[in-house]
Structure formats: structure tokens, C-alpha cells
Structure 1
């Protein structure tokens, strides 16, 4: 069942690859869209069969792959992976639908998009540490090429910078995984056998530190964030949608699944520092967003700040805060994708993203009134206005984290206020006032430009009014993650107690 989510996009890539030359771009786009929509529909069907009250992995698949290396093809789905797999499928379909119908080198372009979708889905489903690492690294290749070939003027610099940072991230993660298996003596890289192992605290600090930096680069957290604004500015709109909406979630997912799950004692000791790190990232991202004059770079720095909320919730590690972290990942994915889509339409129609040049685009006759209205909805959602998914996710983060880290939570709440400030600057400068002379006689906006953003708007409002549709699938898993963490910590304490007594004696 789960393999279909990986192999349907790969099959679509094969069909595009073996087509006749020259391949019509519209036909390649149609095949890619059918493949991603099919995988997304299959995810929805799996969700309908998913038992939300079960804590164990569901739809498990196991196949011995390379036994001497301990590499097995183990897949599983729980309440942590299901929402992210669905998000990946939805945003990939939107990225394909929102792309240019006459993209250069369509065969390679759509093959890379499908391979990116398959590798990210596989990483979310992998239940073998080495298997996760393989797919975590495989997604680097198509994303690098998508930026380097179809990016902006400085695409080579941005793509290379992204490649170097992500390669360092992968090295640290692999080192942590190898160290974990060597120190525990467990044969293989299976996730479940490693859950029962408790290492000395010093070894946990070393391995968890490598994972924190590795996944911190991917999220990204300050000061490992510098690759993200460059990548977003140079990437095309569909790639920015996937980068902000899905790819960053591999970092937060990895921290929850492997950092918190495998090193509970060290996580508890480092939690105050992690919460402080989250507050620094939130405030830094907000202040940097205020200083930007490029719309796309402003949204990119906004992503850095909003991903800090996930780290804050993970650091608190209460049942409510971990549930909030999943909600925030999905919420940010939808909202960031919508904002990047709308910025892309503005740039396509006006030829600029400069806040000092654009103004008055809300003009009902000669501007972009519907795009401006959707942008206002998007910034309201990102600012946490009630009735939208951004509000409920941030409220749960603050409610779950405040009893544990009140100071850091208050600082993050300040970051939410600053979100309203910089997005108000964006909306006020770009969409209100007298229409600028350079924006006269704009090209028409077609429904193909509007439809993807309208779909995301409907989901943002629907999940804001009925968040239980999202919470329902993840609550049991996040609660079990907290309970398992406490059980492992208690077992470690009981194991060490006789040793202490013997030493004193």
C-alpha cells in the first residue's frame, strides 16, 4: 500500500522519459499531474483506512534489501507521517499545475519533480535509519538541478550553496546514525529496535548534537539558514512552493522522529536551550523580513521564523505541544505555498518584486484585485488571525509550550506580532495606494493562475474552522511519543540506580 505512494510518481517519470521526441510540454505536464494526483488520492484513501486510535505503525511493509549493511526496505505510517505525506502530494500537484505550460526541457523538468515527490514521501515513510538517509540524500539531486537549471540569474550560486549546506547536513545525520548503531550494538538500522536502547548521557549528547545541527540546517535554524533566502529568490515559483511547503519539513520531522524519539534523556536536558534557539530563530526571521524590499525574500525569512515555532513545541515535548508541532508544519506548508504562488503571479504580471516600485495593485480595473485579496487572506493566516489554520496551530504551540518555557514562548509570541508588521508593510506598499505607472496595462490573470491559490485558501480556512480534521490523525501518535519518551527516561533512571548504590557502598 505504501510503496504505491513512492512508485506511482516514479512510474510517471518513466512514462515521460520513454516518450517520443520531441515531447509536447503539455503532454509531459499532464502525465506528471495525473501521477501526483493519483498518489495524492491514494493517500486520502489510506487516510480513510487509517486507525487514528492506534499507536503502532500501520500499513507496514518489510523487505530485506542489503542484509550485511543492515539496510531493509521498511515502510510504515503513523499520525506523524500521514499529514506530511498528504501535504507533499497536494503541494507537488499544485506546483505542477501552477508551472509554466511552456517550460524549457519539459521532459527533464517533470521527471525531476516526480522523483522529488517520490523521495520525500519515502523519507517520511522510512522505518529504517539508513533507508531514511538514502531518500533524504536522493531528494537533494532533483532539487539542486531544478534550481540550477530553471532558476534565476544567480541560480548557480544559490544551487551550489544549497548543495553544500545539505551535504553537510547529510554527513552529520549519517554519522549520528552510524554512531548510534555502533554504540548500542544493535545489528541493522531498524527504528523500532533502537527505540529500546538507552545510551549513557554523554553519548546521547554527542549523537543528538549531530542530529540537531544536521536537521537544523534543513529546517533551517539560525545560524544555518543563509542558504534558504538565496535558494528561494533564485528558484522558480513551483520550486519555492515545494521548498517552503514540504522540503523544510524533513528537518522538523527528523528532529521529532529521531532526535526526541531516540535520545529522550539528552533531549530533556537540552530542551531549555532548544527553546531559546527557537525564540532566537523566530525573532531573527521576523526582523530580517521587516528589512527586506524583495517580496520573495520577505516570505523566505518569514519561513525561518515560523519554523522556529515547531522547534519550540518540540522542546516543550508535552502531548499538546507535540500535536501543535504537527499542526504548525502542515499550517506553514499551506500558507507559505500560497504566499509564494501569489508572489510568483505578481512577478509574472509586473516583472518586479520590489516593494519600493510596486503599489496600488488592488486597483479593481487595472490592477490585480483578486490576487491582492488572496494575498491579504494569506498574510492574515500567517499572522495568526482567528478562523484560519495559522491561528489554531500557533495557539496550540503557545498553549502547549508556555507551562514549560514561559519566557521563550512569550518571545515567540512577540514574533507573531512582528509577522503582522512586516506583512502589513508588504500589503500596504504593494496593493494599496495609487497604481504605479510601471504597473499599467498588466497582462490578464487567467484561472490557471488563480486556481492553485484558491485551493490553498479553501484548505486554510476549512482547517482553521475545523482543526479536528487535522488533529484527529496525529493526537494519538504525539501522545504516545511523549509517553514513550518518559518510559525510556524512567527505565534509564532505574537502570542507573543500583550502580549508584553500589558505588556508594
Structure 2
């Protein structure tokens, strides 16, 4: 098994599968295309598990490396590797990509293109997480841009054109800034080797390092997203279909957090130390703003979208602290947020399909056991508890590690983020109380006091609709009750990152 190019297969399988669907000459029904896509992504999940079995958690560096010369004159080589930072994200990408396809039902428009785009995105994300070359990372980072833009602009809601264009502009700007930072690093260091292990910033002045790091911070901050670069995210989520929102929140935002850790902190440890206090303040602002904005929302999907803005701030806070505990917390936060946000968007999608609304001023009493959405409501309560950091859930472990590792270096910023965690409970309790408790009713949006549909019977939720949500809920609980597996997988890598950052930063400042 170890002789197989597992990492290359993780790229080639979804990418070749997506191109194969586009080039397949025969007519195929949406159901048949969906089945083929599920089969390919199930195989991708199996390959990801094979990588997990071949991975040695005791080693901190890249493993299963594959190196081939590609364009050496440009510094672009085909270099792949996996470590404790990237492997959990690869596994999560495989799982959530499969969930997104399983949830893609009743597709009437261009099913061939739709499923091909989902496969292309999954392969591109794998490539970004596994790339061990700056330009190769950027290539895969940009590769998912157009497929996601098409998914929003073709299969989105009424305002999909505006949301998709806004997403395209922001993400293109993100890629331009990252490219500028990588090229600037090569120009100033006089190298044409874009391997992160070969690139050195020791000969660069501190001012140059700060400028390059700022470009990466803004570029990856757009992708995460952080305030004030977050405005594309609520619009994209609101207009995107449920499967696309699952991928966007669960996986694609992690390209920003992963890039920030791998390349921002990894390449510029000295400049990172200088900017770290400001990054902690930025994190606190994003957390509090995202939480307050979520409280003000009436649309359930926009509320969940703004919650992502807040929860991504925790990762920036932990990265600013750069302690072994806080960096381990970044891994837990990325995985837990991916699972929880995907679960929340799945459940909001079920509510919308069954009621025709996501408006908290319209919905009421959906937890009704006879005529409502009892199982959906129960899973929603579990999901909001996990997002609010209740003990026994994945969110608690992630937030505890982040706050524990960041409290020493940045107590005030950590305290502000703790307040944001408390606000998470506030806005999600508002969501659950307004939409799921009380007498079952769907009121007229223009006159909330006048019930237009009382004593209604909502359509039953089929078992096939809830299976993906139940699977994610189980994952959220298991990660909360037994976090040792993820910790064992990532601890060596995150501890080495913290030690290296501290050594290089102290050496550079000395």
C-alpha cells in the first residue's frame, strides 16, 4: 500500500472523474450521474483512510512525499506531502464532499456539469492541502474558484448573480495578493525554488518580511473570512444551495486558515511575532462583530454564515499566540467548525425545503412531534449546543484549547473572544426559540401577528434526508467525547510548528 502514490491518487481521482463526467458522450440521468459521483467520492474517502493508515503520527514533518520535476525554470515542481496539519483536513474534505453529493437530489438543471464541478472542487482542495510548493498550492487554490462561482451563479437563489460576482471578485483579489507575496519572496530572496523548506527569509529585512506577511494576511483573511473582508460570505451562503454551503463552510474556508498557518506563520516567524499583538486584536474584533451581526439576522442561513465569521476569529487568535496548545486548538477548531457548520446548513436546508422559508419572524413551533420537524429540530438543538461550546461536543474541546493556549500571551483579546463564545449561545438560542418552540405555525411575513397557516401538517422528512445530518451529528459528539484521536494525529506537527516559530522568531529578533 505504501508503494502506491496515494497522494497523487487523491488528486487524480476527483479531477479525472470530474473531467470524465464532462466528456462522457452518452446521455445520463441525474440519478445515474449522482450515483457515479457518490462512487468516486466513496473511493476518495477510502484513499484518504489509506493515507491515514500509512501515516505515522509520531513524526512532525511531511510524509508520503512525492517529488517530480515539472517546470524547474519557474520554480514549479510537483511536490506533495502530508502531515498532522493537513491530514485531518483531507479526511474532512473527503467526508463533506461525499455528504454534499448525497444531499444533491431533485436536480433538474445541468446535472452533468453540477456533479463534475463538485468533483473538481474536491480534487482542487486536496491539491491545496497536500502541495509542498508555493506555486503548486496557489494553482490548486485558484482552481476551485471558477467551479464554485458556477455552482452559485447557476444553481443559486434569486440573487445568485450578485452573490457569485462578489465572491469571484473577493476571491480573485485574495489569489492576487498571495501570488504577489510569493513572487515578492522569490524576488527579494533571489531564489527560483518555491518549496517552503527551501525558501528562507533570514536574509530579508524585517520591513520586507512584514510587507510580504501583510499581503498574505489580507489574502488569506479574505478567504477565511475575517472582518472587514467578510462581506462576500453571507451573500454567497444565502444564495448558494445547501450542498454548496456545506462545502463552502465546511471545507473551502479552511483553505484560508490552512494557508495562514502553513505559509504566513511558517514562512515569516519573525514578522509574525511583531504583528502577533495586532493579529490578536483583529481576531477579537472578528469574533465579537461576527457574533453581534449574527444576533441581528432574521434569515437562519445568514445567521449561520455570520457565525462562521466569528468562529474563524478563534483560529487567528490561537495562531497569534503560537503556543503548542493554541496551535493544536487551531486544528480542533478547523475540524469542529467544518463538521458543525456543515450540520447546521444541512438542517437549515431541510427546514427551507419543508416550510418554504428561513425567516425567523415567519417560522414557529417546528419541534412539534406530530406535525412538525421533530428530528430536524432535535438535531438543530444538538448542533447549536456544539457551536456554542457545550461540554461533550466538538466545539468545547476546540474553544478550550484555543482559549487555554492564548490566555497567557493575550488575556484581553482572549477574554473578548470568550464573550463572543457566550454570544454564540445567545443568537443560536434565539434561532431555536423562535423557529422550533411554541405552537406550530407559519405566519405571513408581511404581518407576523396574523397567522396564515395554523394547525398545519408539514411534509415528512424522509430517512434518506436525515442520514447525512445524523452522521455529522455523531461525528460532532464523538470528537467531543473522544478528542484523543485527532490530538494524537496532529500534536507532533503543531508542537513542532510552535517550537520552530518560537526559535526562528527569537533568533531573528536576537
TM-score bin, normalised by smaller chain: over 0.9
1:206 aligns with 2:204: no
Residue 441 (structure 1) shift: 2.3
Aligned match of 2:55 in 50, 58, 68?
A: 50
Give the structure 1 partner of residue 3 of structure 2.
none
Structure 2 residue 201 is matched with structure 1 residue 188:
no
List per-residue Cα deviations over 1:120-174 (Å, max 9, x = no partner): 1100111100111111111101000000000000100000000000011111000
Aligned length: 494
1: CA distance, partners of 2:210 / 2:468: 44
Equivalent residue for 1:468, pick from 476, 484, 501: 484
Match of 1:144 among 128, 142, 149: 149
Post-superposition shift, 1:13?
Answer: 1.7
CA–CA distance in structure 2, aligned partners of residues 223 and 117 of structure 1: 28
> Does the 8 Å contact 2:270/2:509 carry over to 1?
no
Q: CA deviation at 1:206?
A: 0.4
Equivalent of 2:433 in 417, 428, 431 = 428
SS state at 1:222 partner = coil
Uncovered stretches (5+) of structure 1, i.e. residues with no partner: 495-505
2:220 maps to: 215
Q: Does 1:328 align with 2:344?
A: no
Contact 1:176-1:208 at 8 Å conserved across structures: yes
Q: How far, CA to CA, are the matches of 1:384 and 1:198 in structure 2?
A: 44
Q: Once the 2 structures are TM-superposed, how far is the Cα of residue 334 of structure 1 from its aligned partner?
A: 0.2
Q: What TM-score, normalized by structure 2, do the two folds share?
A: 0.95
5+ residue gaps, structure 2, are: 1-5, 443-452
Corresponding position: 1:269 with 2:263: no
| Deviation per residue, 1:15-64 (Å, 9 max, x gap) | 42243443111111111111111111111121111111112210101111
Q: Distance in 1 between matches of 2:184 and 2:354?
A: 52
CA RMSD of aligned residues (A): 1.1
Q: Select 2:165's aligned residue among 160, 163, 176.
A: 160
Aligned equivalents of 1:443 and 1:103: distance in 2? Answer: 21
In the TM superposition, what is the alpha-carbon distance from 1:293 to its structure 2 partner?
0.3
Match of 1:392 in 2: 397
Please give the alpha-carbon distance, in whole angstroms, between the structure 1 residues aligned to 2:394 and 2:200: 33
Is the contact made by 2:270 and 2:506 (CA closer than 8 Å) also made in structure 1?
A: no
Counterpart-to-counterpart distance in 2, 1:417 and 1:355: 21
Structure 2 match to 1:484: 500
Alignment of 1:297-316 (within 5 A): 297-316=302-321
Shift of residue 493, structure 1, vs aligned partner: 4.4
Q: Does 1:286 align with 2:291?
A: yes
Q: Is the 8 A contact 1:198 1:488 kept in 2?
A: no
| CA deviation string 1:234-291 (max 9, x = no partner) | 0000000000001110111111000100100110011111001000000000000000
Alignment of 1:57-456 (within 5 A): 57-195=62-200, 197-437=202-442, 438=453, 440-456=456-472
The farther-off stretch of 425-434 and 181-190 is 181-190
Q: Taking structure 1 as the reference length, what is the TM-score of the superposition?
A: 0.96
SS state at 1:384 partner:
coil
Equivalent residue for 1:501? none
Question: Does the residue aligned with 1:192 lie in a helix, a strand or coil?
Answer: coil
Post-superposition offset of 1:11: 2.7
1: distance between equivalents of 2:128 and 2:215?
19
**In structure 2, what is the Cα distance between the partners aligned to 1:60 and 1:248?**
25
* TM-aligned CA deviation for residue 101 of structure 1: 3.6
DSSP-derived class of the 1:10 partner: helix
Of the structure 1 ranges 177-186 and 14-23, higher mean CA displacement relative to structure 2 is found in 14-23
Q: What displacement does 1:415 show? A: 0.5
Query: What secondary structure, in the 3-state scheme, does the structure 2 residue paired with 1:68 have?
Result: coil
